[in-house]
C-alpha cells in the first residue's frame, strides 16, 4: 500500500513544480538563456581575471559573443552545431530500432512476461539497478532505460512518472556509481594523473582507482532511490492524472499462445545477437577492441557502436515478433514503426536545436570556465580542515555541474587546482577524484542544461501533457538532495573506515 504523501514536502515540491512550469517553454527558455549568455559575455569580456585556464596555461579570457566576428562565426555554425549535437543522433538512431520493436508489440509482450515473474515490490530496485549498469553502455540509459521505466510502472499499475524518475535517478543521479567499469573510469583517472604530475612527474593513477567505491555507492544509490520513489515520489504523484498519448495502461491479460511463441523466437534472436557480439569481442585481437586491447575505453569500436547496436538489437527481434505474431504483414509495417517513433520526436528535435545553440555559446564564451575556476580558487583559499575541504569539493562540483554538463570537461578544469592542492595536504588524487564524482552525479538530474534533460521532459509529456521543466525538477529534487547529502556522508564514512577505494588506490599521498 502506498503511504500518504508528506503534506509539507508535497507543498514545497508542488510550489517548485508550479514555478518551474511557469517558465517559458523549454525551447524558448534555451533561446532566452542564449541571449543572457551573449549579453553576459559582452560585459565580462571587458574585465581581466587572474584565474589560469588549465587548458591554455594563461589567464582565462571571456569571449564577447556579440563582437561581429564572434557573432558571425557562431551564426554560420548554427546548422553544424545542431546536427553535431551529440544527444540528437543518439536518440534518433536508437528510437528507430526501439520504434519497430514497440510497434510490433515486442516490448509490450516482453514487459507483460517480465511482470508475471517479478514481484511488484521489487520493480523499483530492479529498475534502478538496470539504470546504474546502463552507464557501461555510455548513453544507452537515457534513450532506453528511462522511457522503459515509465512503461514498466504503467504496466504494473503504478504511476509512470515515478518509473521515469526512478530510472533517471539511477542513470544520471547515480552516474558515478556502477558495478561494472566504464569508459568514464580511465577518462577521469587520466585527468587526475595529469593534474597530479604537475607536482609529482612520477605519479601514476590506476584507471580503476575508484572502482570499489563506485560498487559500494551503487548499493547506496539503489537504497536511496528505492526509498524515495515509494515513500515520497509515488505518494505525491497519486493525485496527478494521466492525460497524455500513452496514458492507457498496457493490456493486463496474459500472453496468447501466438504471442508466447513469437516472444520466444524474438528473445532467441536477441540472445543470439548478444552472444554473437560477445563471441566476436572476446578474443584479444577482436576488431571491437581499442588499439591497446580495451573493450570499455572511450575509443574502443565497441563503445563507439553502442547506439547502432541498440538499433540492431531491437530492430531484429522486433521484426521477428511482428511477423510471427501477425502484427506485421509486410516491410511497410516495419517502416511505419520507424516513422511513428520519429513523429513522436518532433518536439524533442525543436528543443534540441535551441539547447545545442545555447550549450555551444556557453562553452565558447568561457563564462562557465570562469565560474568554475572562481569557485575552486575560493575553496583553495578557505583554509578548511581536510574533511571539510573534501565535502566542499563535492558541493562546489555539484554547483558547477548545474552550468557545465560534461563530467570530463569539469574535471579537466578543476582537477589541476584540487588534485595538487590536496596532495600538498597529504590527500591522494584517488580520494579527491572520488569526491568529485559524488558531486558530479548528484545534481545531474535537476539541471535543464543536461543535454538529455529535454528528452526526459518529453518522456513525461507522453503521460502528462502539461509536464514541463518544473515537473521534472520537482520530481528529481528529493533524489538530488538525498544523494548529495547521503553520498557525501557515505564517502566521509568510507574514508574514516579506511575501506579500499579501488585498485592501486590510497587515501594519503
Which pLDDT score is estimated for 113?
A: 79
**Which of 73, 57, 1 has its CA nearest to residue 361?**
73
Which pLDDT score is estimated for 75?
A: 93
| Cα end-to-end distance, the chain, whole Å | 51
Which pLDDT score is estimated for 484?
A: 95
Grid cell locating 211 = 572502482
Per-residue pLDDT tens for 194-210? 888 877 888 888 888 89
Low-confidence ranges of the chain (pLDDT < 50): none
pTM confidence score: 0.75
SS3 270: helix
Q: Is residue 248 part of a domain?
A: yes
Distance CA 149, CA 142 (A): 11
Q: Is residue 61 part of a domain?
A: no
SS3 3: coil
Which pLDDT score is estimated for 481?
A: 95
Distance CA 58, CA 475 (A): 42
Which pLDDT score is estimated for 494?
A: 95
Q: Alpha carbon of 339 to those of 298, 306, 353, 388: distances in Å?
A: 32, 22, 20, 54
**Which of 131, 11, 12 has its CA nearest to residue 481?**
12
Dihedral, CA atoms, 17, 23, 24, 30, nearest 10 degrees?
Answer: -100
Distance CA 339, CA 96 (A): 8
Distance CA 249, CA 156 (A): 9
Distance CA 111, CA 233 (A): 22
CB 300 within 8 A of CB 294: yes
40 φ/ψ angles, rounded to the nearest 5 degrees: -65, -40
Which pLDDT score is estimated for 166?
A: 96
In sequence order, the 6+-apart residues with CB closer than 8 A to the CB of 357 are 30, 31, 34, 78, 81, 82
Distance CA 476, CA 443 (A): 9
Distance CA 116, CA 106 (A): 15
The 10 Å Cβ neighbour count of residue 206 is: 17
| Domain region containing 219 | 7-44+66-497
- DSSP secondary structure code for residue 169 in this structure: I
SS3 508: strand
Which pLDDT score is estimated for 333?
A: 93
Per-residue H/E/C for 449-482: CCCCHHHHHHHHHCCCCCCCHHHHHHHHHHHHHH
Apex CA 382: angle with CA 379 and CA 387, to 5°?
Answer: 75
Grid cell locating 314 = 531491437
Q: Is residue 50 part of a domain?
A: no
Q: Is residue 346 part of a domain?
A: yes
Q: What is the DSSP string of 45-92?
A: TTS----EETTTTEE-----TTSHHHHHHHHHTHHHHHHT-HHHHHHH
How many folded domains does the chain comprise?
Answer: 1
CB 427 within 8 A of CB 390: yes
Distance CA 297, CA 291 (A): 10
Which pLDDT score is estimated for 222?
A: 96
**Which of 405, 335, 456, 360 has its CA nearest to residue 83?**
360
Q: Is residue 509 part of a domain?
A: no
Q: Is residue 504 part of a domain?
A: no
Q: Is residue 426 part of a domain?
A: yes
Q: Is residue 53 part of a domain?
A: no
Distance CA 120, CA 169 (A): 19
Grid cell 543521479 is found at 173
Amino acid at each position: 500500500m502506498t503511504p500518504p504523501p508528506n503534506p509539507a514536502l508535497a507543498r514545497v515540491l508542488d510550489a517548485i513544480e508550479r514555478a518551474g512550469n511557469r517558465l517559458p517553454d523549454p525551447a524558448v527558455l534555451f533561446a532566452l538563456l542564449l541571449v543572457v549568455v551573449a549579453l553576459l559575455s559582452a560585459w565580462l569580456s571587458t574585465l581581466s581575471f587572474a584565474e589560469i585556464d588549465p587548458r591554455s596555461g594563461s589567464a582565462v579570457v571571456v569571449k564577447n559573443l556579440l563582437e561581429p566576428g564572434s557573432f558571425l562565426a557562431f551564426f554560420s555554425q548554427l546548422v553544424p552545431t545542431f546536427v553535431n549535437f551529440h544527444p540528437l543522433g543518439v536518440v534518433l538512431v536508437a528510437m528507430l530500432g526501439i520504434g519497430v520493436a514497440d510497434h510490433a508489440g515486442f516490448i509490450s509482450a516482453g514487459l507483460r512476461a517480465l511482470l508475471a515473474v517479478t514481484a511488484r515490490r521489487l520493480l523499483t530496485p530492479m529498475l534502478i539497478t538496470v539504470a546504474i549498469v546502463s552507464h557501461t553502455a555510455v548513453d544507452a540509459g537515457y534513450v532506453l532505460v528511462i522511457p522503459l521505466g515509465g512503461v514498466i510502472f504503467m504496466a504494473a499499475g503504478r504511476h509512470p512518472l515515478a518509473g521515469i524518475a526512478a530510472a533517471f535517478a539511477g542513470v544520471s543521479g547515480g552516474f558515478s556509481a556502477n558495478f561494472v567499469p566504464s569508459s568514464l573510469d580511465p577518462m577521469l583517472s587520466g585527468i587526475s594523473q595529469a593534474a597530479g604530475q604537475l607536482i609529482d612527474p612520477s605519479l601514476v593513477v590506476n584507471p580503476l582507482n575508484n572502482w570499489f567505491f563506485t560498487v559500494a555507492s551503487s548499493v547506496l544509490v539503489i537504497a536511496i532511490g528505492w526509498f524515495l520513489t515509494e515513500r515520497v515520489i509515488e505518494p505525491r504523484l497519486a493525485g496527478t492524472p494521466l492525460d497524455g498519448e500513452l496514458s492507457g495502461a498496457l493490456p493486463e491479460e496474459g500472453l496468447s499462445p501466438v504471442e508466447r511463441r513469437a516472444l520466444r523466437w524474438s528473445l532467441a534472436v536477441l540472445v543470439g545477437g548478444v552472444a554473437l557480439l560477445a563471441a566476436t569481442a572476446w578474443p584479444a585481437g577482436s576488431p571491437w577492441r581499442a588499439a591497446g586491447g580495451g573493450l570499455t575505453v572511450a575509443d574502443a569500436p565497441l563503445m563507439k557502436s553502442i547506439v547502432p547496436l541498440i538499433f540492431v538489437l531491437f530492430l531484429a527481434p522486433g521484426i521477428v515478433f511482428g511477423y510471427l505474431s501477425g502484427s506485421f504483414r509486410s516491410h511497410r509495417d516495419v517502416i511505419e514503426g520507424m516513422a511513428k517513433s520519429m513523429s513522436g520526436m518532433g518536439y524533442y528535435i525543436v528543443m534540441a536545436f535551441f539547447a545545442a545553440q545555447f550549450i555551444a555559446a556557453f562553452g565558447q564564451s568561457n563564462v562557465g570556465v570562469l565560474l568554475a575556476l572562481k569557485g575552486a580558487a575560493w575553496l583553495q583559499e578557505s583554509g578548511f580542515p581536510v574533511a571539510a575541504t573534501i565535502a566542499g569539493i563535492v558541493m562546489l562540483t555539484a554547483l558547477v555541474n548545474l552550468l557545465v554538463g560534461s563530467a570530463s570537461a569539469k574535471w579537466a578544469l578543476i582537477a589541476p587546482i584540487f588534485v595538487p592542492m590536496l596532495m600538498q595536504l597529504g590527500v591522494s588524487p584517488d580520494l579527491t577524484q572520488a569526491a568529485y564524482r559524488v558531486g558530479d552525479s548528484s545534481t545531474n538530474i535537476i539541471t535543464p542544461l543536461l543535454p538529455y534533460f529535454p528528452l526526459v521532459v518529453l518522456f513525461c509529456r507522453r503521460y502528462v501533457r502539461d509536464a514541463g521543466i518544473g515537473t521534472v525538477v520537482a520530481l528529481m529534487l528529493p533524489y538530488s538532495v538525498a544523494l548529495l547529502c547521503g553520498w557525501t556522508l557515505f564517502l566521509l564514512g568510507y574514508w574514516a573506515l579506511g575501506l579500499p577505494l579501488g585498485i592501486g588506490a590510497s587515501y594519503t599521498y
